[in-house]
Structure 1
């Protein structure tokens, strides 16, 4: 878990309780040490979080506290709403549910007028007919990309020919109808693209591939003439 995610989990935990929580109880629920907890609380307090308490006394988040980074501007909220709605409409069920949950979490901590703007946003996503795909396979692809794991895939090309490949997954490109996996193919010894609706099987080989994903992705961007801000 990243430190940013851990700090957010700490805030969410404090929000759920109206009474002070001991450091030991918080640390146990988050699965961290007391030393890490005290450091995280000090970091949040330094950033303006209204956390009352001290070691041995317990901690409590004052009512009404909002993290400054969640005070989005109108254009930022429009971008978040449109992006989440697009994912909810176009992605596989797990990612679609995550998009809806993320938007609900953001909306829950916004000031009332901003929350109303999100709930009644006029930015809509038009209908589409995505290609039929295996939701579990797509979830496996995303996990493997994050973990930098090698995959064994069964793939059917445009001519209907099938093959077994071992690939190093780098990224997923999302289009209106299909998703495209960008990966290093061990069979070809080069970067290749695979339409996810043509995957007949996806198996995580559990081991990390030998090169860093960021390095390979930079090489792919260079091949495609895409700047770092373009994906």
Structure 2
């Protein structure tokens, strides 16, 4: 690993950690000696990168530090490419196009010596059919989730019954060969999973949920934990 790449990786590791990171931890992840880490930290501090800490205690990066222009390692490039391939298998056209746009933006900013990792990556998923295959447009759902807005659904149940519901969207998830809207249903007063291919019509309402996205998601996780614990067989 080149020194410039290693320095960038140190910044990345410190940036993603909420606790001080020791030289030993940095050395272990980057597969170098601790003395190399000490020299690199000294170099970063000399370049006015706001790293604080000391040997034996650990190092932290000022959260206000503004990263330099986009610079990725080969591992990061290949991780992004794998992610794009996984997204393509979902069969969600809008998300797939967004993922391809990310690759195009990354490609336009990479230095020439890293472009081969885009053109000929060392990793790939096995070719095959998409796991989703649905042409359902998820953009309104994702917008409602981001903006914390209620959704009016016209939904067809498995038995063919069509219902109209007001829901509070939590998350758009993917399971097996289908995509699911996870939401709090006002009529059922409970969390429900709606298969997107059974949504006949939807309208994103102007009315907001009235809870933060974080609170709503925490409540859903608590619901799931309770549901899972009750489904486990009694010893």
Q: State TM-score, norm by structure 1.
A: 0.62
**Contact 1:153-1:164 within 8 A present in 2 as well:** yes
Q: Do residues 208 (structure 1) and 197 (structure 2) align?
A: no
Q: Do residues 146 (structure 1) and 146 (structure 2) align?
A: yes
Structure 2 residue aligned with 1:42: none
Q: Distance in 2 between matches of 1:72 and 1:224?
A: 37
Q: Residue 91 and residue 207 in structure 1: after superposition, are their counterparts in 2 closer, same or farther (change >3 A)?
A: farther
What stretches of structure 1 move > 4 A for 4+ residues in a row?
none
Structure 2 residue aligned with 1:110: 110
Q: Distance in 1 between matches of 2:116 and 2:135?
A: 35
Structural mapping, 1:141-180, within 5 Å: 141-180=141-180
**Contact 2:90-2:133 within 8 A present in 1 as well:** no
Unaligned runs of 5+ in 2: 1-47, 50-66, 227-235
Q: Distance in 2 between matches of 1:199 and 1:76?
A: 37
Q: Secondary structure at the match of 2:72?
A: coil
Unaligned runs of 5+ in 1: 1-45, 48-66, 227-231
**Contact 1:108-1:115 within 8 A present in 2 as well:** no
**In the comparison of the two structures, how many residue pairs are matched?**
161
Q: Distance in 1 between matches of 2:121 and 2:90?
A: 19
- Please give the root-mean-square deviation of Cα atoms over the aligned residues, in Å: 2.5
User: Residue 131 of structure 1: CA displacement?
Assistant: 4.3
Q: Distance in 1 between matches of 2:225 and 2:121?
A: 35
Q: Distance in 1 between matches of 2:176 and 2:107?
A: 26
Q: Distance in 2 between matches of 1:195 and 1:109?
A: 38
User: Residue 89 of structure 1: CA displacement?
Assistant: 3.9
Structure number with bigger Rg: 2
Structural mapping, 1:1-231, within 5 Å: 68=68, 70-125=70-125, 126-129=127-130, 130-135=132-137, 138-225=138-225
